[in-house]
Structure 1
């Protein structure tokens, strides 16, 4: 299956083997797991647990969204604007340049067309309707961050890709010319030619792989996107580590901090932040406007679909963390510091509840191969 991608070979593989994270066979997290992150007594959810239809995991009605094109027609007054398009896909406008993070327009976060987490609703705008983009950045190779149909569509453009080391093998296999791909190890930077944009890869605590045999064969990273006047931190997927302090000292301060808050579970608390640890990470990074990502699009864990953002809203101290909570497709400038409001509740309260799509019920038979999938897949 082409969706699985391609393994790194040759010089790319040699670069991976030279990393401090390489253990002789694959990459691994080397930062010590902080106390309390992972509940050793919590059982990992099975494929059956993750795939079965649970109404709480899917919004009862389509989420509020807007067409961003009118907002994009004028440049941001402050020089920095973010448009959340779902999950970890954000169009950033930084000092006159546009960057697209982890673009996913596909229907499922899965290698399969009929199995796996299905998106709650379409992206607010079609991929072909995007304005010209100066760079695409990809944090790691999981399906909800590296999407085969989206990459195939972007291959027809001329946009350059900046990604974690090893991910370029997938991109090349899917039609992106090598000259449009830049792969970074942690702390390496790349100046996008013809722009004022610099992209720097930074540490994260996660994992990678798109199949049973490719676990941790490519690097995972957080990313710092810098223009002439503004800096944005994008977490990708990660657990909480004290390396955020090093990122702050070496690459901060940040005008916008985008942190993942969804798909958390006690059994994998070391590789996903969740809302509480996202607030801790935000503090270690030195603050800045906080925009949660990695929620509201796919059901990738066992919690309710809105639990990540509801918990974040309840825990955040406005004096310590100003939250940027845009609707889907709503271009917002962090400098405006608009009051955070729970816009996602409105339609749920006013519209009749719909029956969630049937995926797999707990009593349904599950293919033994599905039970062997390397959950979590994100």
Structure 2
């Protein structure tokens, strides 16, 4: 398995003959409005796609969407919708998002709305895992979406956490399943009001301590409401003694997973 970090939550998972694009944000730098308005009003995304992105995208066979409504252009933007529609790439998603995406002409393959029942996926199996995209009042207005747990013969199990804070439900899931590889959001995103809506430094460190497998941090340094830097997270991981199991890839970097 190889995981290519493109930008923010957008990755490509290379496994066997398959190339699975996850949460594509493909628009140009600055194509979208800021997500905080009272400070750091920089437009999003704040960085361009890496130079390698176009060639990698040409290899994509499938797409996974964790959530995409209520303004979540950082997981599926207009450029990505056009790109997927033109190529009719099969898009795996929730039934809720499936209806939304089908109206936009995408080739959707929604999973059943059952978090406990794995479904066939590329010769292996996939199941959804609940996300909590923020707590308290702000959490009530968010599109919470799902994460995905993927198991394929001869490959490490993979947990794509989606946009979530570190909840008891997430802790219990990873304690029970012990994924070999977990990709978690680490940017500490927050809006102008309320608390973090995805994991930040402390929760990523706590998550890494809770699993025996490798953890990959993304959702970093691409959106104006994500204050956590790679250097900050790396320094915290070194202090906590977990840097040996936490990868913090740069945009354009590929990680080979054994």
Residue 295, structure 1, aligned to residue 220, structure 2:
yes
Name which of 6, 22, 27 aligns with 1:106. Answer: 27
Q: Is the 8 A contact 2:148 2:160 kept in 1?
A: yes
Distance 1:175 1:255 in 2: 35
Q: Is the CA contact 1:275–1:309 (under 8 Å) kept in the aligned structure 2?
A: no
Q: CA RMSD in A?
A: 2.9
Q: Which residue of 1 aligns with 2:171?
A: 245
Residue equivalent to 1:350: none
Contact 2:47 2:222 in 1 (8 A): yes
SS in 2 for 1:166: helix
TM-score, structure 2 normalization: 0.79
Deviations 1:132-163 (A, max 9, x none): 33321111111111212212211122421112
Contact 2:144 2:163 in 1 (8 A): no
User: In the alignment, is the contact (CA less than 8 A) between 1:117 and 1:300 conserved in 2?
Assistant: no
Which residue of 1 is the match for residue 92 of structure 2? 162
Partner of 2:205: 279
Report the secondary structure of 2:231's partner residue: helix
- 2:82 aligned with 1:152, yes or no? yes
Q: Which runs of 5+ in 1 are unaligned?
A: 1-79, 208-213, 336-378
More strand per residue: 2
CA distance in 1, matches of 2:112, 2:144: 9
The SS at the match of 2:76 is coil
Please show how residues 11-90 of structure 1 align to structure 2 within 5 Å: 80-90=1-11
Name the SS for the 1:311 alignment partner: helix
> Rg larger in 1 or in 2?
1
Among candidates 225, 228, 235, match of residue 314 of structure 1: 235
Task: Tell me by how many angstroms 1:182 deviates.
Answer: 1.1
Cα separation, 1, equivalents of 2:170 and 2:232: 22
Count of paired positions: 237
C-alpha distance in 1, partners of 2:215/2:56? 27
